[in-house]
Amino acid sequence: SPITLKCEEYMHKVRPVAIEKARATNIGVVGTWNTSQSCGALGFYAEKIANAGMIGLLMVTSPEFVAPHGAKQPILGTNPITIGWPRGDGNPPIIMDMATSELALGKVREAMARGDSVPDGAIITSSGEASTGGCGWGWARSPRHTSW
Protein backbone atom coordinates (compact mmCIF):
# COMPACT_ATOMS: atom_id res chain seq x y z
CA SER A 1 0.00 0.00 0.00
CA PRO A 2 1.23 3.54 -0.71
CA ILE A 3 2.87 5.55 2.04
CA THR A 4 2.97 9.31 2.33
CA LEU A 5 6.14 11.33 2.97
CA LYS A 6 6.47 15.08 3.48
CA CYS A 7 8.47 16.25 0.45
CA GLU A 8 10.74 18.89 1.94
CA GLU A 9 11.72 16.70 4.88
CA TYR A 10 11.80 13.19 3.46
CA MET A 11 12.49 13.30 -0.30
CA HIS A 12 15.77 11.46 0.23
CA LYS A 13 13.67 8.52 1.50
CA VAL A 14 11.62 8.22 -1.70
CA ARG A 15 14.21 6.30 -3.68
CA PRO A 16 14.87 3.38 -1.33
CA VAL A 17 11.19 3.04 -0.42
CA ALA A 18 10.08 3.06 -4.06
CA ILE A 19 12.78 0.57 -5.06
CA GLU A 20 11.91 -1.73 -2.17
CA LYS A 21 8.22 -1.63 -3.09
CA ALA A 22 8.99 -2.25 -6.77
CA ARG A 23 11.19 -5.22 -5.99
CA ALA A 24 8.45 -6.72 -3.83
CA THR A 25 5.43 -5.99 -6.04
CA ASN A 26 6.77 -4.88 -9.47
CA ILE A 27 5.68 -1.30 -8.84
CA GLY A 28 6.72 1.19 -6.20
CA VAL A 29 4.37 4.09 -5.53
CA VAL A 30 5.41 6.76 -3.04
CA GLY A 31 3.43 9.95 -2.39
CA THR A 32 4.37 13.30 -0.91
CA TRP A 33 2.18 15.85 0.80
CA ASN A 34 2.44 19.48 1.86
CA THR A 35 4.88 20.24 -0.93
CA SER A 36 5.13 23.93 -0.13
CA GLN A 37 8.51 24.48 -1.74
CA SER A 38 10.92 22.91 -4.17
CA CYS A 39 11.97 19.31 -3.56
CA GLY A 40 15.21 20.01 -5.40
CA ALA A 41 16.38 18.40 -8.62
CA LEU A 42 14.15 15.35 -9.06
CA GLY A 43 16.58 14.01 -11.66
CA PHE A 44 18.90 13.05 -8.80
CA TYR A 45 16.29 10.60 -7.49
CA ALA A 46 15.30 9.33 -10.94
CA GLU A 47 18.95 8.58 -11.69
CA LYS A 48 19.33 6.58 -8.48
CA ILE A 49 16.23 4.55 -9.34
CA ALA A 50 17.44 3.96 -12.91
CA ASN A 51 20.85 2.89 -11.60
CA ALA A 52 18.99 0.25 -9.57
CA GLY A 53 17.71 -1.14 -12.90
CA MET A 54 14.22 0.34 -12.69
CA ILE A 55 12.24 3.08 -14.39
CA GLY A 56 11.68 6.07 -12.13
CA LEU A 57 8.78 8.44 -12.81
CA LEU A 58 8.49 11.37 -10.42
CA MET A 59 5.85 14.10 -10.50
CA VAL A 60 5.23 16.76 -7.88
CA THR A 61 2.87 19.66 -7.50
CA SER A 62 3.89 23.09 -6.36
CA PRO A 63 2.20 26.21 -5.04
CA GLU A 64 0.86 28.82 -7.44
CA PHE A 65 4.10 30.18 -8.92
CA VAL A 66 3.12 30.41 -12.60
CA ALA A 67 1.04 33.12 -14.23
CA PRO A 68 -0.35 31.90 -17.57
CA HIS A 69 0.22 34.09 -20.62
CA GLY A 70 -1.62 37.36 -20.18
CA ALA A 71 -2.36 36.82 -16.48
CA LYS A 72 -1.25 39.27 -13.82
CA GLN A 73 -0.98 36.78 -10.98
CA PRO A 74 0.16 33.19 -10.60
CA ILE A 75 -2.51 30.49 -10.56
CA LEU A 76 -0.53 27.38 -11.63
CA GLY A 77 2.40 25.43 -10.20
CA THR A 78 5.63 24.54 -12.01
CA ASN A 79 4.63 20.87 -11.47
CA PRO A 80 7.91 19.18 -12.49
CA ILE A 81 7.95 15.84 -14.28
CA THR A 82 11.02 13.61 -14.19
CA ILE A 83 11.71 10.18 -15.65
CA GLY A 84 14.83 8.07 -15.60
CA TRP A 85 15.39 4.70 -17.20
CA PRO A 86 18.34 2.36 -17.33
CA ARG A 87 20.16 1.60 -20.57
CA GLY A 88 22.28 -1.31 -19.41
CA ASP A 89 25.66 -2.40 -20.81
CA GLY A 90 27.44 0.07 -18.52
CA ASN A 91 25.82 3.12 -20.14
CA PRO A 92 24.49 5.87 -17.87
CA PRO A 93 20.71 6.10 -17.56
CA ILE A 94 18.65 8.53 -19.59
CA ILE A 95 17.14 11.26 -17.42
CA MET A 96 14.48 13.82 -18.37
CA ASP A 97 13.87 16.43 -15.64
CA MET A 98 11.63 19.35 -16.56
CA ALA A 99 9.25 21.95 -15.22
CA THR A 100 5.94 22.57 -16.96
CA SER A 101 6.67 26.30 -16.94
CA GLU A 102 8.86 28.48 -19.14
CA LEU A 103 11.73 28.24 -16.66
CA ALA A 104 12.28 26.00 -13.67
CA LEU A 105 12.17 27.77 -10.32
CA GLY A 106 15.76 26.69 -9.67
CA LYS A 107 16.92 28.44 -12.86
CA VAL A 108 15.25 31.67 -11.76
CA ARG A 109 16.83 31.41 -8.31
CA GLU A 110 20.26 30.77 -9.86
CA ALA A 111 19.93 33.84 -12.08
CA MET A 112 18.85 35.92 -9.08
CA ALA A 113 21.79 34.73 -6.99
CA ARG A 114 24.21 35.73 -9.79
CA GLY A 115 22.43 39.03 -10.43
CA ASP A 116 21.70 37.91 -13.99
CA SER A 117 18.62 38.52 -16.08
CA VAL A 118 16.21 35.91 -17.39
CA PRO A 119 14.68 35.93 -20.90
CA ASP A 120 12.30 38.84 -21.47
CA GLY A 121 8.80 37.97 -20.29
CA ALA A 122 9.88 34.88 -18.34
CA ILE A 123 8.92 36.67 -15.14
CA ILE A 124 6.39 39.36 -14.41
CA THR A 125 6.32 42.13 -11.84
CA SER A 126 3.75 42.24 -9.06
CA SER A 127 1.70 44.52 -11.35
CA GLY A 128 1.76 41.92 -14.14
CA GLU A 129 4.31 43.60 -16.41
CA ALA A 130 6.84 41.43 -18.26
CA SER A 131 10.33 41.62 -16.78
CA THR A 132 13.84 40.24 -17.21
CA GLY A 133 14.64 40.63 -13.52
CA GLY A 134 18.27 41.54 -13.21
CA CYS A 135 20.25 42.85 -10.29
CA GLY A 136 17.46 44.85 -8.70
CA TRP A 137 14.65 42.36 -8.95
CA GLY A 138 14.45 41.20 -5.35
CA TRP A 139 12.50 37.94 -5.58
CA ALA A 140 10.53 36.31 -8.36
CA ARG A 141 8.13 33.44 -8.53
CA SER A 142 8.51 30.57 -10.93
CA PRO A 143 7.89 31.28 -14.61
CA ARG A 144 5.97 33.01 -15.73
CA HIS A 145 7.00 34.20 -12.28
CA THR A 146 5.62 37.07 -10.29
CA SER A 147 7.98 39.31 -8.34
CA TRP A 148 6.92 39.80 -4.76
Quickly state the pLDDT bin for 83 (edges 50, 70, 90): very high
**pLDDT tops 70 at residue 48:** yes
**pLDDT tops 50 at residue 116:** yes
Across 8-12, 29-33, 137-141, which has the greatest mean pLDDT? 29-33
Query: What residues contact 57, with CB distance under 8 A and at least 6 apart?
Result: 46, 82, 83
Rounded to a whole number, what is the distance in angstroms from the first to the last CA of the chain?
A: 41
Nearest to 80 by CA among 106, 99, 67, 55: 99
pLDDT of residue 95: 96
